[in-house]
Structure 1
Amino acid sequence: MCGRMANTLPHDMVARIFGAVPSNALPPVPNYNVCPTTDVAVVTAEGDRRLRPMRWGFIPHWYDKPNGGPLLINARAETVAEKPAFKKAVRERRCLVPVSGFYEWDRAGEAKVPHYFYRADGAPLVMAGIWQDWGPDRIPSFAVLTIQANALMAPIHDRIPVIVEEDDWRKWLGEEGHGAALIMRTPGEEVLTFHRVGQAVNSNRATGPELIEPVAA
């Protein structure tokens, strides 16, 4: 958790919202089925803010190749400052991951039932991330921080992404003050909403806006 995203946010709009300079070769949008190991446009603060493409799946510096160990798409907020793979990144390289929403699955009998989560107010969903460049080619990669689920998510999954509200963007990016740890909290139940979607999204090859359309239970 979270293990799949959807993004329909135009890059020029995201760059404008965050006051970020967009890099070249940003991943195409819309993408209704963003899978791990694919590139996602994330916001970093490296002097100026940048909108950069990064591989979803954090690559620790000791991996001898990008897939040289477990795929680290998420990092637990409760332990991120202690884990060797993440502790330096959470101090020095935090990023914002703006998307339209994400998918989560629960089980109904033997079937995995997908649901689509997104902000109840219709705004971009901005998740807390950590990142680093790996290897001689400096491949940028990131992980999404997760935390204990709120009452909305708990019937489906026990984890939920850390959501960064606009007032906290500067602090999470390290642009002002300290206390980024205070941002790593479970979002209120009113922040997100969700609906059930069709089984097509279970395939990582599926595409198209129908993936986020609601279906009857």
Structure 2
Amino acid sequence: MCGRFSLFEDIDSLKEQFHFDFPDDLDARYNIAPGQDILTVINNGSGRSGKKMRWGLIPFWAEDEKIGYRMINARAETVDEKASFKHALKQRRCLILTDGFYEWKKEGKQKQPYRFGMKSKQPFALAGLWENWKKDGKEITSCTIITTGPNQVTEKIHDRMPVILPKNKLDIWLDSSFAKPDQIKQLLVPFDADLMDAYPVSTAINSSKNEGKELIAPMNSL
């Protein structure tokens, strides 16, 4: 699964790289956790638009918003079969921007966190789905991150990784006219391992209450 990530890149730099409109500023975040609002990018019909959404998808038919805490990820292999995700897969796809994500490796009785990112240090886009939920006068826009099998970098730590979309596939992912599940799922594959790296970080990342640049520092530099 993908349960934590970061986004500390300057918003103007993000807008230049991913070509979207977003009127607000953005706080640097080093330890983004489920249930929090995150930056996404959607196609609003006239171009790309940035939108904050709650991480943890709440299906439009759900009775209780708390279901979202169980919907932070969607498996690529079955995303077109699950009632929670199959409608969004066809019409409500988004980019979830990040500059790194975390996974944990069990080492004896301990779990060591690792940070994964691009060798270039550049931000990248994860494949996401979103929904708009309304009930009793309350409205929440929420999203989920699609995961797939590991590549040669992530498999050493975990058996899943988020779907990272290559730059030349971003427009296709956001195009709602591209709606055949079999075609869409061809994009949901492990990312090129040669472009990625990983390193261990402090267990301080384990608590979602912790924030700060020190969380991304390699263990051997602490």
> Could you tell me whether the CA contact under 8 Å between 1:63 and 1:69 is conserved in 2?
no
Which runs of structure 2 are paired with 1:115-194 in the superposition (5 Å)?
115-136=114-135, 137-174=138-175, 179-194=183-198
Q: Distance in 2 between matches of 1:138 and 1:94?
A: 19
The 1:205/1:134 distance shift into structure 2, 3 A limit, reads: same
Q: Distance in 1 between matches of 2:113 and 2:121?
A: 20
- Letter matched to residue 12 of structure 1: D
Q: Distance in 2 between matches of 1:91 and 1:31?
A: 30
Query: Where does structure 1 differ by over 3 angstroms across 4 or more consecutive aligned residues?
Result: 175-179
- Letter matched to residue 144 of structure 1: I
When you count helix as a share of all residues, which structure comes out higher? 2
- Letter matched to residue 21 of structure 2: V
Deviation at 1:29, TM superposition (A): 2.1
- Identity among equivalent positions (%) equals 34
Q: Show the counterpart of 2:35.
A: 37
* Paired positions, count: 215
Question: How big is each residue's C-alpha offset from its partner over 1:60-116, in whole Å with a ceiling of 9 and x where there is no partner?
Answer: 122223104652100001110110000000100110111110111011111110001
Q: Distance in 1 between matches of 2:9 and 2:133?
A: 27
Deviation at 1:154, TM superposition (A): 1.1
Q: Distance in 1 between matches of 2:60 and 2:201?
A: 37
- SS of equivalent residue, structure 1 residue 12: helix
Q: Distance in 1 between matches of 2:28 and 2:7?
A: 6
Q: Show the counterpart of 2:214.
A: 210
TM-score, structure 2 as length reference:
0.90
Deviation at 1:22, TM superposition (A): 0.8
The range that moved more, 204-213 or 184-193, is: 184-193
Q: Show the counterpart of 2:4.
A: 4
> Could you tell me whether the CA contact under 8 Å between 2:90 and 2:176 is conserved in 1?
no
Deviation at 1:17, TM superposition (A): 2.2
Deviation at 1:133, TM superposition (A): 0.7
Gaps of at least 5 residues in structure 2 are none
- SS of equivalent residue, structure 2 residue 6: strand
TM-score, structure 1 as length reference:
0.92
- Letter matched to residue 36 of structure 1: P
Question: How big is each residue's C-alpha offset from its partner over 1:112-132, in whole Å with a ceiling of 9 and x where there is no partner?
Answer: 100011111222121100101
Q: Show the counterpart of 2:202.
A: 198
> Could you tell me whether the CA contact under 8 Å between 1:198 and 1:211 is conserved in 2?
yes
- SS of equivalent residue, structure 1 residue 59: coil
- SS of equivalent residue, structure 2 residue 89: helix
- SS of equivalent residue, structure 1 residue 183: coil
Question: How big is each residue's C-alpha offset from its partner over 1:124-175, in whole Å with a ceiling of 9 and x where there is no partner?
Answer: 1211001011114431111011101112111211001111011001000016
Q: Distance in 2 between matches of 1:201 and 1:175?
A: 36
